[in-house]
Amino acid sequence: MMVVENTIDTFDSPSEERIAKDRYQTDAMWIYMGPQHPFSHGLWTLKVRVDGEIVTDAEPVIGYLHRGWEKEAENREYPKIIPMADRLCYSASMTYTHLYCMTVEKALGIEVPEKAEYIRIVADEICRIQSHLMWLAAVGTDLGNLTIFLWGMREREYWLDLNVRLCGQRMTTNYPRIGGVRNDTTDIFDRDVMRCTERFEKALWDLIDMIDSSSIYVSRMKGISRLTREQCANLGVTGPAMRGCGVDFDLRRDDPYGKYENIDFEVPVLTEGDTYARYMVRIEEMFQSCEIIRQAVRKINALGKNAPYRLKVPSKVPAGKAFCKLEDPRGESLMYLISDGTDKPFRLKVRAPLFTNISASRPMVKGVRVADVPAVMAMIDVCMGETDR
């Protein structure tokens, strides 16, 4: 069996001729994982070249879900894009709508009321926690254990209930508005949030106990798919996957938007760079999100019931360019708006963190075993809606 170093060589993908040549080799074969494959959460294909059980090469193929989102957005008025932004990723809908509203607000040059900013922070962190819980559930199935899946989904349901309490919708929330949020928090929202966070921190320890005290879980993740800090930065991998590789960067702390600079929290960073480190970073992020939610809810309470939560904004955006970055549950998401003075965007570009993270799957899966491919890919938390747009 061939010895494969787990390092990146050039990024060029295998040529068609090489794939054709490999077809007649007996020791190596190309396996198409996807688009109808239990491992691919969404429609995409990972072609892997295996030598026995070891992956020697890989190529991701995307585009099955390309909806022309950006082109579609050029055809709509600004407020009508908010529900579309929800559909970019079903489990990060709140962050995308937030990001979109923030970008348009920046182009308009307006300041959002303070209360709306804190409500958005709470909504974002709820979104982050439920997204991470869904990721945890997916890790369970990818490693072949259904219990984690169901326990993770059970915990997620409490957070979705909070979403319902906040804005009446579970997943595609359509909640932030340009200039604020749609509605104020409901009467006992702060009490519900506090109860939910407290309950969740205990429940999360159950899940952690289940995973970390099992040596099989840990050995399935430790030392798999190592990336160094430089590789990670150069490949454009962002989010928890990047922080697991030792890049100490979180947009909420290092490039704060909204009112995140008033909130005190830690950014978990690990330098191991393997799958287990990425897992640990995400788990710790959930605890930190609970802390952020608590602080933000306290600030909302301090502002009082009658503080404004929404501004009236003009429907036409002055011509110019504006962009905003936001820490999505999956990484750095970015929207770039070019406006031409009308009520429709001239061009709206979305940088989806997964678009780049998936492009880095070749160096990630190179050298691991076939059985580890789902585990490695689970750690970037694949969501195809935002990748293909």
Partner 1 sequence: MVSSMKDWMQYGDPMSNPYYPYDTYNVVYDLGFEVYQFLGGIVAWLIDLILPGNPVSEWLMSDAVVNAFSIIILALVIFLVIFVGVLISLWEERKVLGRFMDRRGTMVGMKGFMQCVADGLKTFMKENTMPKKIDKMTYMWTVSLIIGTSVLVACMLPLSDRFFIVNFDSGLLIVMALYALAPFFILVSGWSQNNKYSLIGGMRAAESMISYEIPMLIIVCSVAVLSGTFNIGGIVAAQNESMWYIIPLFVGFIVFFTCSCAESERSPFDLAEAEAELVEGWQTEYAGMKWGLIMLGDYLRGFASCAMISIMFLGGWNVAPFASDAVNGFLPEVVQLLKGWFVFFIMIWVRVALPRVRIDQILNLGWKVFMPLSVVNLAIAVLLKVGGVF
Partner 2 sequence: MMDTEAIYQEPSVSEIKHLLENKFKGKVTVSKTEVRRVHAEILNKEDVFEVCNYIHDNLTFEHCSIVMGADMIDHLEVIYLLTNYYSGTVIEIFAKLPLDDLHVHSVALIWEGANWHERETYELFGIIFDEHPKLKRLLTPDTYTFFPFRKSYKLRGQE
Positions touching partner 1 (CB under 8 A) are 29, 31, 33, 37-39, 50, 53, 140-148, 150-151, 154, 210, 214, 216-217, 219-220, 369-374
Contact letters (x/-) for partner 2, 46-65, by CB under 8 A? ----------------xx--
227 lies in the site for partner 2, by CB under 8 A: no
CA-nearest of 33, 25, 32 to 51 is 25
Please, what is the Cα angle at 113 between 108 and 119, to 5 degrees?
A: 115
CB of 71 to partner 2, least distance (A): 6
What is the C-alpha separation between 343 and 36, in angstroms, rounded?
41
Q: Residue written as tokens 């678009």?
A: 355
What is the C-alpha separation between 148 and 145, in angstroms, rounded?
6
For partner 1, which is the closer residue by CB, 30 or 90?
30
Among 110, 236, 284, 303, binds partner 2 (CB under 8 A): 236
What is the C-alpha separation between 109 and 77, in angstroms, rounded?
18
6 lies in the site for partner 2, by CB under 8 A: no
Give me the numbers of helices (H) and strands (E) for the chain, helices first please: 16, 8
For partner 2, which is the closer residue by CB, 5 or 16?
16
Contact letters (x/-) for partner 2, 343-362, by CB under 8 A? ----x-x-x---xx--xx--
What is the C-alpha separation between 205 and 361, in angstroms, rounded?
30
CB burial of residue 341 (10 Å; 0-12, 13-18, 19+) = exposed
Residue 342 interacts with, from partner 2, partner 1, none (CB under 5-8 Å by kind):
none
Among 153, 233, 267, 311, binds partner 2 (CB under 8 A): 233
Q: Taking a C-beta distance cutoff of 8 angstroms, is the pair 314, 342 a contact?
A: no
80 lies in the site for partner 2, by CB under 8 A: no
Q: Taking a C-beta distance cutoff of 8 angstroms, is the pair 326, 95 a contact?
A: yes
CB of 22 to partner 1, least distance (A): 13
CB of 246 to partner 2, least distance (A): 10
71 lies in the site for partner 2, by CB under 8 A: yes
Residue 7 interacts with, from partner 1, partner 2, none (CB under 5-8 Å by kind):
none
10 lies in the site for partner 2, by CB under 8 A: yes
For partner 1, which is the closer residue by CB, 29 or 188?
29
CB burial of residue 264 (10 Å; 0-12, 13-18, 19+) = exposed
Sheet of 28-33: strand order equals: 28-33, 45-51, 54-61
Q: List residues binding partner 2 (CB under 8 A).
A: 8, 10-13, 15, 62-63, 66, 68, 70-72, 75, 230, 233-238, 247-249, 251, 254-255, 321, 323, 325, 332, 334, 336, 338, 347, 349, 351, 355-356, 359-360, 388-389
